[in-house]
Each structure stands twice: as C-alpha cells, then as structure tokens.
Structure 1
Amino acid sequence: MTADTNVPLPDSQQPPGFDELFGQGGGSAPTKRGFTIPKELVEAPKPFFKDPQYYQKVLSGEGEGAKRLHQSLAAFLNTEDPQERSIYRNRIITASWEVASSIAPKITRRDLPLPKRLFLRFGILLPTLLSEEQREMFSRVILDNTTGEPVHYVDEWLYKIGIGEIAPSAQDETLTAKKRQTERKKNILGELQGKLEAQKMVIMNKSFELEAQEQALQEQLRVMCAHGRDPSNQNALFPFTEAQKGAYTEVLNTLRRISQLDKELAREYAELKRITAHMEKARDAGMEEEEVDADVIRQEMSAVRQMAKLCVGRQGNHFPLAMRHYIRPRIEDVGIRERVLQILAEIEYLDPGAFERTYRQQVHRIVPHVILIPSYGERGICWEPFEKYNRGTSRGRIAIPMYPKDLRTAVIAAVGDLRWQVAKEKAQHYWMEEGLTGWYYQYFTDHKMKGDVKEQFIEDYILWITKESEGTQKLTREVRDIFWRYMPFPQEIKDKLKTRGFVYAELYKKDINRSLSDGY
C-alpha cells in the first residue's frame, strides 16, 4: 500500500482539495507541511477472525487473570438478570486489563500470536461478540503504518516503548534509591537527546530556507539573463530591461542571504557535533540507557488504561471489549489510523497553528504522538503536551478513543486539549494572565462561569472548528475575538467568513488594522 499526499479530503466536510490545502507548491524543497494521507481507508480482508482458536490464543498462557476473564465473560453472556450482569461486567473490566497487562511485556517477541496483538489493538477478545459485518470491517483495517505519521495502535505503541524507540509516558511513582540513580542517568541522557533532536530540527529549518533561497536565485537569474536581441544588428543583446534590473538587485540580495545562511548552517552543524560528543562522553561514563524491562512496559500499559479512563469519563462506558452494540457500523466512524489522519488534516487546515511551536526564534511543526485506544470514550485527551526532558521540540502525546459516538468531535477535543496545555506551559505561572489561556481565563472568571476552565475551553474549541469555521455563530463575542486572534483560521476561510455576517467582517477589519499598526 502506497501513501499519497494528493488525495482530496472526505467530501462530508467539503473542504478544498488536499493539494490546495497542504501541497508544497512547485518547488522541490522537502519541507513537510501536512499529513500524509493514504489513498484508501482499508485493504483486502484478512482471515483473522475465521480462526476457530482465536479466543483460546488470546487467553492462553496469561495466568489467573485469563481464567477470571473467561469465567466472568461466560457468566455475563449467560445471565439475564440485570444485577448479575452488572456484577460480571465489572469483573470483566478488571480481568480484561489484567490480561492486557500480562500480554504487554511480550509485545516485542517475534512469536507473539497475532490474536493477542489484535486484542491489544482493537479490544477484540471473542470475535462472535461482533456481527459478521463488523468482523469483516475489522479484517480490512490496514495493519501496518504506511504513512510514517506518529499515529499508533496500542500494540504498536507498546512495541516502540519496549524497544526503546520512544520514552515511556510520565507517571507519578515512588522511586527507590536505585530507581532514583537510574532516573538521574536517564535525566541527563534525556536532556542531551532532547537537545540533539532540537538541534537537528534547527538544521533542517535552515536547510529548507537555504534551499528555498537557492531556488529563488535560479529564477531570478533566469529573468535577469533573458535578454532581448536586436534582429537588425546580428541579434546583438539589448541592455537590461527594468524587470531585469530589478532581478539583478534581487540576485545580489539573495546571494547575501545565501552567504549568511551558509555561515549559520555551519555554526549549527558545529553545535550538533558538540552535543553529539557530549552524549558519547556521557555514555562512555556509564550512563547508557538500560534495556527496557518488562516492568516499564507494564507501567506503560497502566498509563494506557488511565488514558482510556480519561477518554471515557466517570459516567461513560468503561466496558473494555469490542461488542456489536457499541460500535458504529461504518469504518469512517471508527478511529482507525487512516481515518484519524484525515480528521487531523482537516483540523490543521482550519487551525494552522495547532501543531506549531516556536523554539530558538523558529516556528516548528511538531505533530504529537497519537495513541488510538480501543475504548468507548467520547473525547480524546492530551496526556502530555511534550516530554519533560525536551520541552522545545518533543512530540507530546494525545489519546483518541476508537469507538466514540462521533469520531470527529473526539479528535477535535484532543487537539483542543493539546492547544490549551501547550499554551499554558508556554505561559508557565503567568498562564492566567498572558496569551491564549490568560485571555480565556479572564473571560471565564469575568462571566462567573462554573466548572473546569480547560473543559469549557475544549467545548468552545469544538464549536470553533465545527461551527464557526462554517460561519455558524455559536460562540460568545468575547470567545470568538480571542480565538480569531490566537487561533486564527487560514486566510482563505477568513476571506469567506467576512461575507457571512457583521461579526466576522468586524474581526476581518481588526486584522487589517493590526497589520497596519505594530501588529499583535
């Protein structure tokens, strides 16, 4: 399966085509500006759930937890008494997570049976709990990540943690003396690794800019050297036209900028070499990262369970197994990787700064790790806005429930949560006074609103993306003003909205006034 970035987004939302929104233009610069969207949501069906031993293969070798899960599930399916079903349901929840925690440390084994991996990925324990159509639907899900995007199913996520490719999620725990020593070593290497990745990103940005300047130079030289000729005098060259003289001046300016960028790039490579040498010295001093052990993967599985709880909420459906009654019949409504990528692309078009962060005076596009949780939660959540050892350029982590009532709303909520937490961390202890969170918190308190300010922000962010972007006025005037300024729509959307009502026309005028003054 090949990926293609030139695929139109789903016509249900009717945004412009993908080329128009996320294309890189005619240049050959490798700058990545948008998500890689696969051509297809699904592939040919696979015979996963036709295996008569599927259920046994999931539970085999998983100890007492597997026995309790089997007994509780059998009792749950065979009783009609509502009170008994409630008791067995709770037992299934506990036993299912116990079995998942037992499978998790084995995730890096090559001989791990596929049903165990699918249980972690989709929550499918007993295929007959799904309808035949649903089993067919899941059998068509694309197994491998063909996009290169950081969107992970739970089994993939645990595998990357297990091989040390990704650092474990932050969790509160009591550290023993030995663990503190190990943690200190990891802190040092983690900080150096963060600096290394940040430095690589700075070099990439400088490289992109240098390449763009070189392409501009080629075009300017083409214009400058396109002389007219005198046919009456053996095609002798005419002198420069005004356009050519202008190109000549641009060539000189571009050459100066190229020279400056080359010097900056050389300095950044020297800094990269210094950081790399520092890391090697730290490793030589006995600070190598220890191999990830089974306990780390179990702890990560515990973090995944906490993510699921947050996605579901206190009053939601915490049942951990995939069942026909709770899963939507259309693959477009299920949180598979390809569909989530489509929605993320739609959100990023409407909120171009959603994944941007400024580091060392440069704007970086940093897409968070997206973990797809097989749960019935209604809202996605931000687990970490960034890693604690690399606040500048690390990806951070958001979790998306795979089986919500409305997938698009769940994904938008996760991005809104990320937006809030990144802005709050950026403002630090001034978060109630400055920037996006400061203005919103002032609005929240001025109106004596109750509840959690972040939750209210996420609710408003959902309306901003789903309604206000289409010209449907659902937010208060104050919130619309804040969002228009700190999370602006792309210019194309603004140009359309200014004709959709007085409020948008006024906001549009404010933009013009700001651009004529000292800016924001």
Structure 2
Amino acid sequence: MISDFDPTLFEDSPAAGPDFSDLFEEETDKKEDLIKQTFTIPAEISEDAKPFFKDPQFYQKILSGEGEAASRLHKNLAAFLKAEDPQERSIYRNRIITATWEVITSISTKVKKKDFPLAKKIFLRFGILLPSLISAEQRDMFSKIIMDNRYGESIYYVDEWLFNIAAGRITPSAQDETVTARKKGADKKKNIAGELAGKLEAQKMVVTSKALELSSLEEALKEQLRIMLTHDKSDEISGAIMPFSEVQKTAYTEVLNLLRRISTSNKELAREYVDYRKIIQHLEKIETDIEEENGVDDDVVRQEVNAVRQMAKLCVGRQGNHFPLAMKQYIRTRLEDIAIREIVIKTLADIEYLDPGVFMRSYKQQMHRIVPHIILLPSYGERGICWEPFEKYNRGTSKGRIAIPMYPRDIKTAVISAVADLRWQVAKEKAQHYWMEEGLTGWYYQYFTENKMKGDVKEQFIEDYILWINKESEGTQKLSRDARAIFWRYLPFPQEVKDRLKTRGFVYAELYKKDVNRSLSDGY
C-alpha cells in the first residue's frame, strides 16, 4: 500500500507544506456577450510561481483513495526507479502505463467534488505524479503556468475537460461503444444540450450580423440625410435657402429607399432575437434537468477517460513514447516549448490568419466561426489529431474536438497537424459520399491517385498542409505544382499574403492571375 512509500524517491523534492485551501474553488462557466471573430491573444504566458511541489505529501495525496490501482502503480513505479536491467525496466514501464490509466480513470470520477485535491488536479493536467521525476527547473516552470482560463476560449486541460463532461456541460466524445438502455435518457438530454449550445453560438452570430446590417443602413441614412439637408444659400434673398438640388433629390430618393430597407432589417433583427431567446430558455431548462440529475454518471466519465487515452495514443503514434508520467528527460525547460493554453492560442491565431476559413461553417445561409473544443493532453506525441469534426447529433453548429500533446518536439507542427486533420474531416463530411470526387478532398484525392502516391491520403494531406502554412506562406516552394494549386484554391491565404506572394515567383503570379480571372468571370 501507499503507507510503505520510500521517502528517498523524493530525493530532489522541496519540503515545505503550504495551505492550498484557496485553490480548490470550482471554475465557473462564463457566457460571453460578444461573438468572438478572432482569438484573444494572451498578454502573458506565465504568472507568479505557486507552491505546488512544496507539499511533502504531494505523491501520497494523488494515490490516496484510489484503491488497488494506486497500489499497483506505486509498487511498479518504485521497482522501475530501482531497476538497472533494461529488460526489467521495460517490463515495469509497461505495467506503469496500464496502472497509471487505471488511476486516472479512478480519479476522474471525483473531479466534480469541491474538495478535489489540488495534487490530483495537477496529476491529471500535467502528468506529474512524483515531483522528483522532473528537475527543479522544470518544477519551477510548471508552477508558473496560468491555471485558469482567462480568455474564454474552448481550450481545456484534461482535468478541466473531465470536469465539464462530469458536469454535463459538454457532451461525451463519440466512441464505438453500445449505449445501454439505462443511459439513453440521460444521453438524449446531453445531446440536446450540445445541439442547443451550438445553435445558441450560431444564433448569436446571426443576431450580430443582422445588428451590423441595421447599423450600416442607419449610418447610410445619416449620410443621405446630411446630403439632403445641406442646401445652397440664396444669392438673391439674404438668409433664404435654395430648393433641392439634383444631388439632394437623389439623396431624398435614397432616404426613402433606406427607410424601407431599415424597416425590413429591423423586423428581421427582432425575429432573430426571438429565436435567440427561445434557444436560451430551452437550453437553460435542459441544463437545469442535467444539474438536478447531478450531471452524468461515473460510467460516462470513465468512458471519456478511455476516449482521452485513445486520443493520446493517436497523438503519440505506434512508435512513440507512450509513457504517461512526466519525466525530466522528455520535457523541455522553457514554457515556450510546452503546449500550454497560452502558447496554443497564439499558434492557432497564426494559423487562422493564414487560413481564414479554417473554423468557418455555413448556418442559415451565413458563414459562422465555430472553433472546436481543444484538449491539451499531458503526452509526448508529435502530432495533434481531430477526434471528431462535429457532434453526431448536430453537424451544423456543434463544436468538433481536437487533441494536442503538451510535450511535442515542435509545438507549431503539433497544432498545425491537428488543424489539418480537422480541415480534412470537415471537408470530407461535407462532401459525404462524394468526398473522392468533390471539393477539397475530391481534388486532393484525384491528385493523390493520379500521381500514384503511397500511404494514407489524409496523412499526405496533413503533411502538405504543414508545408502550406510553414513554408508556402513565406514564398518557399515546397509543394508540388498541383498540390499548391489545390491549396491556393480551396485553402486560400488572406489577400495581403497573396499580394505579397505574387511578387515572389512565377508560380504564385500565375495563381494570382487565375484568381483575378475567376473573379472577373464570377466563377470563383
């Protein structure tokens, strides 16, 4: 049991015991009033160091209360640290992987408790079980990570993700498992809540768009009224004004036209507000029902841990490092090299600038920005992945979900690969049965097959997307001519980047010229 813990394993660990009572408060779910069209770039990526690892009971607090799984993890970790034979260490290493996920599963059912220990939270978030497994410099680095979500972005550490799943705020990730009859009622409510949440975000965008349209018409009315009411002075009679000039008559006609359009626009805005309020009322009722049922049952949370584990496996790959605990030899010592929330936000903002349509989806004949849920995994994977492009029961407005490993060799590549995977899956789902024939996936699949390329077509697309963002955006020609043409057409850079690239070589100038020709022929 944990009571036989060998204190020498903490040989590099500090020894003061702080009061963590002020750090146990649950995070509140804040609804934003404004529609976000871009990421809020963090002003800072760190804060003052927190005394996470000064608690000499840190390790015991994580494993305490987690039953036989904790005992197995403790026993195998102690043996692993003492073993010198490589083969013996490999055996214990594999046992540690299994035992660690069993402990994570056990801990996950407690994330909603108000007295949820901070040590367990740190374990879920960063994979830190034994502080002495990371260096003093790394402990200092982790203690400076900003813990709370200050930016309103749907980017979650694993403990936050599991908390939201447990609270019923986010629908569980889709898995290939049979749903039992006992869970169907609760799952139906969660699916409805997820659908309504997506519709609410999309409806906010519709209302905002209609409001901007009305404001634009009102500004135009003010300008036409100014013109209409600006009379010439009479040269014949002092103090008198002249009748309407031709310009004023035109403005008068435009004022009448604008008043009719404003009336129509106002009615449309009023209707959209009614729909918006109906969605809020329905969503609040469903959320209340879920809260009264005490969120979701423990089995749902355990299944979500299984989904998170599968995400981590996909990020790491078959040949990667699947060890689930933070160890100093695998982690860098600069926050800039760790996929923390702030760094991921900055990277996503850079990608979205170069690929403005990456998070755009059509709803009610309008394009809306729908950023997926992003889960930060404490794993050593090299690539991020898209788990699902959108939710099963709400393909139109729901958030998809992507996963990004926190300890990759290169953060930018890890984030870009996740976005590329999302791009591919959304385009494929949009084309449905015709994904090999139509749109982005259709053109790319035809290019892939015509050139008799080997491997998986999606993986090749992801590789090319990484080059598109990293190299081609700077004018460095790394893609084939056909691949570049497909990306230029279906994943276009913003106009200012295109304007810059057209002077960087003949190939870009030709692509730019085709853009101009398409726009002139209304065929773009």
Name the TM tier (shorter chain).
Answer: 0.7 to 0.9
Matches within 5 A, 1:257-276: 257-271=261-275
2:96 corresponds to:
92
Counterparts of 2:243 and 2:148, CA distance in 1: 60
Per the TM alignment, residue 393 of structure 1 is displaced from its structure 2 partner at its CA by 1.0
Counterparts of 1:285 and 1:164, CA distance in 2: 10
Counterparts of 2:403 and 2:518, CA distance in 1: 37
Cα–Cα, structure 1 residues 198 and 352, in superposed 2: closer, same or farther, change >3 Å? closer
What stretches of structure 2 of length at least 5 have no aligned partner? 1-32
Counterparts of 1:31 and 1:285, CA distance in 2: 27
Matches within 5 A, 1:2-17: none
- CA offsets 1:123-142 (integer angstroms, 9 cap, x no match): 11111111111111111111
Cα–Cα, structure 1 residues 82 and 264, in superposed 2: closer, same or farther, change >3 Å? same
Q: 1:106 aligns with which of 103, 110, 119?
A: 110
2:470 corresponds to:
466
Q: 1:165 aligns with which of 164, 169, 193?
A: 169
Per the TM alignment, residue 207 of structure 1 is displaced from its structure 2 partner at its CA by 2.6
Q: 1:296 aligns with which of 291, 297, 300?
A: 300
What stretches of structure 1 of length at least 5 have no aligned partner? 1-28
1:13 corresponds to:
none
Cα–Cα, structure 1 residues 54 and 285, in superposed 2: closer, same or farther, change >3 Å? closer
Are 1:58 and 2:58 counterparts?
A: no
Cα–Cα, structure 1 residues 453 and 225, in superposed 2: closer, same or farther, change >3 Å? farther
Q: Which moved more, 1:31-40 or 1:435-444?
A: 31-40
Counterparts of 1:244 and 1:402, CA distance in 2: 64
Q: 1:326 aligns with which of 319, 330, 338?
A: 330
- CA offsets 1:356-389 (integer angstroms, 9 cap, x no match): 0011210001111111111000011111111112
Q: Which moved more, 1:170-179 or 1:392-401?
A: 170-179
Per the TM alignment, residue 469 of structure 1 is displaced from its structure 2 partner at its CA by 0.2
Q: 2:72 aligns with which of 58, 68, 72?
A: 68
Give the letter for the 1:382 counterpart: C
Per the TM alignment, residue 345 of structure 1 is displaced from its structure 2 partner at its CA by 0.3
Matches within 5 A, 1:9-408: 31-180=35-184, 182-183=186-187, 195=199, 198-218=202-222, 221=225, 251-271=255-275, 291-408=295-412
Cα–Cα, structure 1 residues 227 and 418, in superposed 2: closer, same or farther, change >3 Å? farther
Are 1:482 and 2:486 counterparts?
A: yes
Give the letter for the 2:378 counterpart: P
Per the TM alignment, residue 510 of structure 1 is displaced from its structure 2 partner at its CA by 0.3
- CA offsets 1:90-117 (integer angstroms, 9 cap, x no match): 1111111111111111111110110100
What secondary structure, in the 3-state scheme, does the structure 2 residue paired with 1:106 have?
coil
- CA offsets 1:319-362 (integer angstroms, 9 cap, x no match): 11111111122111100001100000000000000000011210
Counterparts of 1:160 and 1:87, CA distance in 2: 35
What secondary structure, in the 3-state scheme, does the structure 2 residue paired with 1:382 have?
strand
Share of identical aligned residues, percent?
71
2:447 corresponds to:
443
The answer to whether the 8 Å contact 2:312/2:379 transfers is yes
Counterparts of 2:68 and 2:241, CA distance in 1: 90
- CA offsets 1:420-452 (integer angstroms, 9 cap, x no match): 011111111111111001100110111111111
Cα–Cα, structure 1 residues 294 and 217, in superposed 2: closer, same or farther, change >3 Å? farther
Counterparts of 1:33 and 1:273, CA distance in 2: 22
The answer to whether the 8 Å contact 2:35/2:204 transfers is no
Counterparts of 2:129 and 2:63, CA distance in 1: 8
What secondary structure, in the 3-state scheme, does the structure 2 residue paired with 1:478 have?
helix
Counterparts of 1:80 and 1:353, CA distance in 2: 53
What secondary structure, in the 3-state scheme, does the structure 1 residue paired with 2:362 have?
strand
Counterparts of 1:318 and 1:225, CA distance in 2: 74
Q: 1:497 aligns with which of 498, 501, 504?
A: 501
Give the letter for the 1:389 counterpart: Y
Give the letter for the 2:499 counterpart: D
1:20 corresponds to:
none
- CA offsets 1:18-70 (integer angstroms, 9 cap, x no match): xxxxxxxxxxx955321011210101111111211111111111111111111
Per the TM alignment, residue 208 of structure 1 is displaced from its structure 2 partner at its CA by 3.4
The answer to whether the 8 Å contact 1:194/1:389 transfers is no
The answer to whether the 8 Å contact 1:443/1:478 transfers is yes
Q: Which moved more, 1:43-52 or 1:183-192?
A: 183-192
What secondary structure, in the 3-state scheme, does the structure 2 residue paired with 1:110 have?
coil
Give the letter for the 1:374 counterpart: P
The answer to whether the 8 Å contact 1:45/1:140 transfers is yes
Counterparts of 2:330 and 2:404, CA distance in 1: 16
Counterparts of 1:376 and 1:284, CA distance in 2: 39
Per the TM alignment, residue 175 of structure 1 is displaced from its structure 2 partner at its CA by 2.8
Give the letter for the 2:125 counterpart: R
Matches within 5 A, 1:424-439: 424-439=428-443
The answer to whether the 8 Å contact 1:334/1:404 transfers is yes
Cα–Cα, structure 1 residues 190 and 378, in superposed 2: closer, same or farther, change >3 Å? closer
What secondary structure, in the 3-state scheme, does the structure 2 residue paired with 1:383 have?
strand
The answer to whether the 8 Å contact 1:198/1:392 transfers is no
Counterparts of 2:100 and 2:247, CA distance in 1: 72
Cα–Cα, structure 1 residues 195 and 134, in superposed 2: closer, same or farther, change >3 Å? closer
Cα–Cα, structure 1 residues 327 and 191, in superposed 2: closer, same or farther, change >3 Å? closer
The answer to whether the 8 Å contact 1:30/1:208 transfers is no
- Tell me how large the CA RMSD over aligned residues is: 3.0
Per the TM alignment, residue 78 of structure 1 is displaced from its structure 2 partner at its CA by 1.4
Counterparts of 2:258 and 2:209, CA distance in 1: 17
What secondary structure, in the 3-state scheme, does the structure 1 residue paired with 2:376 have?
strand
Give the TM-score taking structure 1 as reference length: 0.87
What secondary structure, in the 3-state scheme, does the structure 1 residue paired with 2:109 have?
helix
Which of these two proteins has the greater Rg computed from alpha carbons?
Answer: 2
Counterparts of 1:168 and 1:422, CA distance in 2: 19
What secondary structure, in the 3-state scheme, does the structure 1 residue paired with 2:398 have?
coil
